[in-house]
Amino acid sequence: MSDHRYTRRLVLTAALALVVPFPAVHAATTVTLLNVSYDPTRELYVDYNAAFAKYWKAKTGQDVKFNQSHGGSGKQARTVIDGLAADVVTLALAADIDAIATLGKLLPLNWQSRLPHNSSPYTSTIVFLVRKGNPKGIRDWGDLVKPGISVITPNPKTSGGARWNYLAAWAWALRQPGGSDQSAEDFVRRLYKNVPVLDTGARGSTTTFVQRGIGDVLLAWENEALLAIRELGSDKVQIVVPSLSILAEPPVAVVDKVALRHGTRDVAQAYLEYLYSKEGQDIVARNYYRPRDPEVAAKYANRFPQLELVTIADFGGWAKAQRTHFAAGGVFERIYAP
């Protein structure tokens, strides 16, 4: 081989040798995951992340650090689409992760089939949180539209929980005698007339109701309501279980393009899979989410009231529900004017 060709190969090899090991060196010791989640899961992921870090260290010897981002589910999805480098998303509803897949093209369209239970390792539902003693006598959805009742619920444009709230109200209205799309629309219109403040996310609404003392009833994630009672005490607030609610299935997914770029694909996948493990499900239940695992569910059965639940399938799936109710020009924009 001539001198100049040898020299050229030597230089290029040296350049590659300098560049290639750099990411590998860091990956061997510590990895950081960014989990972009919806609003009320802060306490859940504090507990869960600690448990997973311990599990992963024991299994692989690698340290895992976590960065958490919380906010309204829809808002969080848009932030990821706009470039927030989430390794995983754990959002309130499938439509928000669908948006990341279709608009952000950051994960495949079939993401929901990659983990059990349509990628929802836990469920929840919507209940009412009222002042202790229930001074306004709120029993069911119909009471929310009475004059003088102030209802706290977040903005469905930004909050996943708000969309579950809205759909639960719609489903109840449909079930009433003479129920129709028109009567349901009229019902939610009257409901939102009684909403003085629209927070961007579920946690914000809890703050409005519990700490700012605004409103007579909070439409809350079940886990938020149970957490509020634990934090504030049962002498301040109480839960009212409506006759009908909705099965909320918050999904989780690896954001493939980001995880591959960061070199965190394997640990991100394991992070989500661990949610389905016995320990993961136990942590989920301890934080007031309804676990999927039958054994863990039985262990915590007393914590969760039994009630009739509709599902998103009753609305034709999230794509249809999003298009009909929450997209630009949808029902919510028709019935609500700030």
Partner 1 sequence: MQPRLICLAIAVLCAWCGVVHADEQTEAQLLQRLEQQEERIKVLERKLEIQDETARTAAEGAPVVKASTKGFSFQSADGANQVRLRGLIQADGRFLVEDAGLGGVDTWQLTRVRPIIEGTLYNFVDFRFTPDFGQGRTVIQDAYLTARFSPALRLTAGKFKSPFGLERLQSAYDIRFVARAFPTSLAPNRDIGLNFEGDLFGGKLNYALAYANGVIDGGSSEALGDVDVDDKKDWIARLFTQPFADADSFALRGLGFGIAGSYLKQTGTAAQPLLPAFRTSPQQTFFRYRSGATPTIADGERLRYSPQFYYYVGSCGLLGEYVQVSQEVARTTTAGTRRATINTNAWQLAAAWFVTGEEETFRGYTPNSTFIPGQSWGALELVARYHELDINDEAFAGGGASFADPTVSASKAASLEIGINWYLNQNLKWELDYGVTRFDGGTATGDRDDEKFFLTRFQLGF
Residues that bind partner 1 (CB under 8 A): 2, 4-5, 7-8, 11, 15, 18-19, 22, 71, 79, 82-83, 150, 196-200, 204, 208, 212-214
CB of 40 to partner 1, least distance (A): 16
CB of 321 to partner 1, least distance (A): 25
Nearer to partner 1, 152 or 310 (CB): 152
Q: Where are the alpha helices (DSSP H) in the chain?
A: 3-19, 21-29, 42-60, 73-81, 94-102, 116-119, 160-175, 181-193, 202-206, 222-232, 256-262, 265-273, 278-286, 294-299, 318-321, 331-335
Rg of the chain over all Cα atoms, to the nearest angstrom: 23
Vertex 270 angle, CA 247 and 86, to 5°: 75
Nearer to partner 1, 15 or 50 (CB): 15
**Residue 137 DSSP one-character state:** -
**Residue 241 DSSP one-character state:** -
Measured CA to CA, the distance from residue 39 to residue 102 in angstroms comes to 23
Nearer to partner 1, 149 or 270 (CB): 149
Nearer to partner 1, 3 or 235 (CB): 3
CB of 189 to partner 1, least distance (A): 20
DSSP β-bridge partners for residue 38: 71
Nearest to 84 by CA among 14, 35, 146, 137: 35
CB of 198 to partner 1, least distance (A): 8
Measured CA to CA, the distance from residue 73 to residue 180 in angstroms comes to 29
CB of 11 to partner 1, least distance (A): 5
CB of 324 to partner 1, least distance (A): 26
Residue 25, C-beta contacts closer than 8 angstroms, at least 6 positions apart: none
Nearer to partner 1, 15 or 103 (CB): 15
Nearer to partner 1, 150 or 238 (CB): 150
Sign of the four-CA dihedral 312, 101, 288, 266: positive
Nearer to partner 1, 79 or 324 (CB): 79
Nearer to partner 1, 84 or 232 (CB): 84
CB of 212 to partner 1, least distance (A): 5
14 is written with which tokens?
Answer: 């040296």
Nearer to partner 1, 11 or 298 (CB): 11
CB of 208 to partner 1, least distance (A): 5
CB of 97 to partner 1, least distance (A): 20
Nearest to 134 by CA among 249, 280, 236: 236
DSSP β-bridge partners for residue 220: 127
Measured CA to CA, the distance from residue 281 to residue 57 in angstroms comes to 20
Residue showing tokens 């390792």: 121
CA atoms within 13 A on the CB side of 314: 15
